[in-house]
Amino acid sequence: MKRKLEGFKAVFQRERKIMIRDLDILVIILLSPLFYGLFYGSAYLHKTEVNVPVVVVDEDHSALSRQFIRDLDAHQLIAVSRIEPSLSEAKNDLQTFRAQAVIWIPSQFEHHLKRGKQSTVKVYLNTSRFLPANDINRAVQEVAATIDAGLRIRYFESKGLNFELAKEQFEPLQVDDRNLFNIRQTYGDFLIPGILVLILQQTLLFGLAMSVARETETRGWRTLYRQANGSVWGVISGKSVAYLLLYIGYALFFFTIYFSVFRLPFRGNYGTFILITLIFLITVTYISVFVGTLFERKIIALQFLVFTSYPIFLLSGFSWPVSAMPEALQWFAQLLPTTPYLQAMTRITYMGAGLKEVLPELWHLVGLGVLGLILTRLRIKHYLNATIDAGFSSPVFRMIRGSSD
């Protein structure tokens, strides 16, 4: 045990020097997490889009249509950029992206409404940008409902009912709509935590995989194995613990400082969150070492892995439900640490979940971590046998060697 600990310390110190002296790795693990975390988070700092430009076509030119336009412009989500005389000219604004919607107020708008008849306001939405389109639709519905309520209540009051009775006649059935978790319904609150997690995972994967590939490129496995006193545990742990400690610090920084800067909600238990984050980072660390052994040069490792970021984010189920994916992709998604971790993180930060509620995701991560450790040990032993003839012997290695022969 003493020899193993000494070997671990020697490899650990060696890896610290590599992290500092290798400029490629240093940029990935030191500058990238901080820069990208701040850069991508700042893009969604305002959380939701406000004052989205819309064009109004007013064919009624009445006091009520002008009130409707003023109420639209006063709504925080949209801004009336111009009032066009005809629908054809307004649609041109929509096609050239000068406006995201056209709101058409028909003739006799006021005449019909004041007589209790139906009048239809048409909304032409640019749904190629579905997020502002949803906001515009919601804003128009809210303004229309407010005006409709005022007109109908005044109508019932003219029939001799007081305000409360008039309100009951207008709304015999009320729906009490309550937003839960993402109360402000902002895209930034939803997206920024997922982006921070992806930055943590991918920069850790890039940096550690490049470091492992560097050993092959520089023929450093013999030196590494000798410094570890012939311990595979010393090789794996010595190379990975330095990165693990660094990224534990990054995780604490991200989920305290960045959460505060970007005003992100956190309603859960901090102890549970720290535990599952630690398991997540350990799992990613083992997987990174395994992946690094698949490349013979660090630049090839980086060039290949850099294209995995977006697919991993899509398959994690954060932006699109895993259950809605093809079955083959659903199985593959379960092998990604981000899939259970993002589910657990969302439930902890938004829903206030505790340890009991996220146990399935925690055990999922533990299972992936154990699988990653087993595969990494087997791969490192086989690699040491193939490169420096370390002399490891087991039925698995004899089978691998026999198949390669």
- Average pLDDT score over residue span 189-195: 80
Confidence of residue 341 (pLDDT cuts 50, 70, 90): very high
- Average pLDDT score over residue span 314-342: 87
Q: At what angle do helices 32-43 and 187-217 cross, to 10 degrees?
A: 160
pLDDT above 90 as % of the chain:
18
pLDDT given at position 357: 87
What are the sequence ranges of the domains in the chain? 2-44+186-404, 52-170
pLDDT given at position 243: 93
Average pLDDT over the chain, rounded to whole? 81
Question: Which amino acid is it at 332?
Answer: F
Dihedrals φ, ψ of 214, to 5°?
-65, -35
Q: Among 207-211, 299-303, 383-387, 401-405, which stretch is predicted with the lowest mean pLDDT?
A: 401-405
pLDDT given at position 337: 93
Token pair in block for residue 222: 């013999």
Q: How many CB atoms lie within 10 A of CB 270?
A: 11
pLDDT given at position 395: 46
Statement: 52-170 belongs to CATH 3.10.20.30: no
Indicate the length of the chain as a whole number.
Answer: 405
Q: CA-CA distance, 248 to 275, in Å (whole number)?
A: 11
Q: Are 156 and 170 in contact (CB under 8 A)?
A: yes
- Average pLDDT score over residue span 128-150: 76
Is 70 exceeded by the pLDDT of residue 377?
yes
Give residue-wise pLDDT tens across range 24-55: 888 889 888 888 888 877 777 666 677 888 88
Report the sign of the C-alpha dihedral through residues 163, 165, 167, 170, in that order: negative
Give residue-wise pLDDT tens across range 221-254: 888 888 888 888 888 988 899 999 999 999 999 8
pLDDT given at position 373: 92
Q: At what angle do helices 32-43 and 232-253 cross, to 10 degrees?
A: 30
